[in-house]
Amino acid sequence: MATNENNGKIKGAMFYPVAVIFIALGLLAYLMVVIVPKFQEIFTELSMNKPLPWFTQVVLGFSATFKNHILIVLGVGFAAILSLQKYCRTKKDILIIERAMIIFLALVVGTIVIALFQPLISIITELGNTSHPPPTRADPLK
């Protein structure tokens, strides 16, 4: 009876972290399938035939792979979930996996954001250097 009660407590305690991880993975998939390709269109319009930084090219490549081979990506993810389920037997194992996944997702999302905004910042900076200087304010006393 105590074992069933402990299992119920562990399952109940794991609902929130699992839900957060699934939401984060869903947002990551949305970023890779919808948002990153839109940035790619913007980059091709604004790049003025200059090559993108390699870091951005890597993220765009991952996005294209993710989008074009979604079934393989989902299969690998499902296999990873099943293998983690076999591995996680204690609460300590679950906490280790949870922390590792949160760190991994934070690094991936941070990498995507940096890779997408770095070319935009350099393009905006370059455009700012070639534009007219800012207008000077007229002296109100003259």
Q: Tell me the per-residue pLDDT of 71-116, one tens digit each, with 9 for 90 and over.
A: 888 888 778 777 777 777 777 777 777 788 778 877 877 777 777 7
* Rounded average pLDDT over 19-30: 79
pTM: 0.56
Cα–Cα distances (Å) from 27 to 11, 12, 52, 72, in that order, read 24, 24, 25, 18
DSSP string of 7-54? Answer: HHHHHHHHHHHHHHHHHHHHHHHHIIIIIHHHHHHHHHHHSTTPPPPH
Residue labelled with tokens 């399952």: 11
Token code pair at residue 94 = 């679950």
* Rounded average pLDDT over 109-134: 68
Token code pair at residue 47 = 């790049």
**pLDDT above 70: residue 13:** no
Token code pair at residue 15 = 């609902």
* Rounded average pLDDT over 57-67: 85
pLDDT at 23 (0 to 100): 80
CA distance 82 to 102: 18
User: How many CB atoms within 10 Å of residue 65?
Assistant: 13
Average pLDDT, the chain: 75
